[in-house]
Homo-oligomer: A and B are copies of this chain.
Amino acid sequence: MRSIDPTSEADDIGAFVPGQRFRIEGRAGGPLSGLTFAAKDLFDVAGHPTGGGNHDWAKTHPVPTRHAWAVQTLLDAGASLIGKTITDEISLGILGENPFDGTPVNPCAPGRVPGGSSSGSAAAVAAGICDTALGTDTGGSVRVPASFCGLYGIRPTHRRLDLSGMMSQAPTSDTTGWFARDAETFARVSAVMLGEAIPDELPNRLIVAIDAFAFADPETAAALEPLVARLGALLGEIRQEAMAPPGLAAWARAQRTIQPYEAWQTFQEWIDRANPRFAFQVARNLVLGGMMPASERAWAGLVREEARGRMRQLLSPGTILCLPTTPFPAPLRAQPLSGLDPLRDRITVLCAHGGLTGVPQVTIPGATVEGLPVGLSVLGARGSDATLIAVARAMAEG
């Protein structure tokens, strides 16, 4: 990891939106006093434009006059905000390459993408520029950059947190998440964001999602084995089972029907009014999202119900499941679309269950493939967010 002075205003990894490095002090005496954070450019910060990673979004929307709930919550808890970080355009991306604001350096894997869409937040935390950072996760946008940048990251239970002041993409999948470099900071921030103490008690049963491990690159699955063994030892009982009996690809197809269609619904009025500029790949997603046939959407809705039932059945109290966060570490930057499209497709196969079922997921660093970080994820029943944080903390202590 590169060493960067966190008190410096310098941002030599390009994590921040140009011109959006500033400081808003947190409330004195709060539980997060002394910590610094950054906010992905999808979160409103009063007096600063919300850019959404697209130069035409800020031009066609008013500057916010109040902070997003997540920003206000961290400030109230004493953390100080140091700026707004680069995101994939309107959060429609999983790799973190942005032609408008630039692509942040991945401090743990130079020459590789940082992952997205919360690319700048992950890069800033990984580089030590701030202690934590807000991201959003609709289809993997916290989990993927956390995995690629060697960080802790959470996608909370869907609808658990207040998303006011956060730019929406696909409302039935959108969540607010956050990153940290170390488990202790991660737990402190999580207790504030979740409004719940992180428990000492751990779950006692671990399911290893064999379908997800089989889908990952063999090198990645092998690299995660020691973490899985440690997790099993911590929890006691361990068993192997498929997470998605109809196939991870079927779940991913359903999510990739629901999410792009919702994204089109979200942005349609703006697009009609402003004819905004997008990178081709983003515009293509929107066009195809708008073309989803009703029959496909109806099928996807049923798959979603079935997947939610599967999660309820699998994740009984005291049980958590683990899987590789991403099927491989960060790909090389600046590849052609034809090289990246199949990689994107594979990443979303391991992330789709999040938006599809709404269960919380925490990704834990600690493994590498040829020196490149890759994360192990734990997920549990809806509402078990704090328990997953406890697991991450226990793994670090172990």
Interface residues of A (CB under 8 A from B): 56, 97, 99-100, 271-273, 275-281, 283-284, 286-288, 336-338
Contact = CB atoms under 8 A, between A and B. Distances in A.
Contacts of A273: 336-337
16 contacts: A56-B99, A99-B275, A100-B277, A271-B280, A273-B336, A275-B280, A275-B337, A276-B280, A277-B278, A278-B278, A278-B280, A278-B283, A280-B286, A283-B283, A283-B287, A284-B287
Tell me how many chains of this kind the complex includes. 2
A280 B283 contact: yes
Contacts of A278: 277-278, 280, 283
A176 to B, nearest CB: 27
A278 B275 CA distance: 10
Given A275-B281, A283-B284, 16 more contacts: A56-B99, A99-B275, A99-B277, A271-B280, A271-B337, A275-B279, A275-B280, A275-B337, A276-B279, A277-B278, A278-B278, A278-B280, A280-B283, A283-B287, A284-B287, A287-B288
Contacts of A279: 275-277
Contact of A287 (B271, B287, B337): B287
A363 B272 CA distance: 32
A278 B286 CA distance: 13
Q: Is the interface of A mostly helix, strand, loop or mixed?
A: helix
* A-B CB proximity, top 8 nearest: A283-B283, A287-B287, A272-B336, A272-B337, A277-B277, A272-B338, A273-B336, A284-B287
Nearest to A99: B277
Contacts of A280: 271, 275-278, 283, 286
A337 B276 CA distance: 11
A129 to B, nearest CB: 27
Contacts of A100: 277
Contacts of A338: 272
Contacts of A284: 283, 287
Contacts of A281: 275
A8 to B, nearest CB: 31
Most B Cβ at <10 Å: residue of A280, A284, A287 = A280
A338 B270 CA distance: 11
A150 to B, nearest CB: 26
A286 B284 CA distance: 9
A322 B102 CA distance: 52
A92 to B, nearest CB: 12
Contacts of A287: 283-284, 287-288
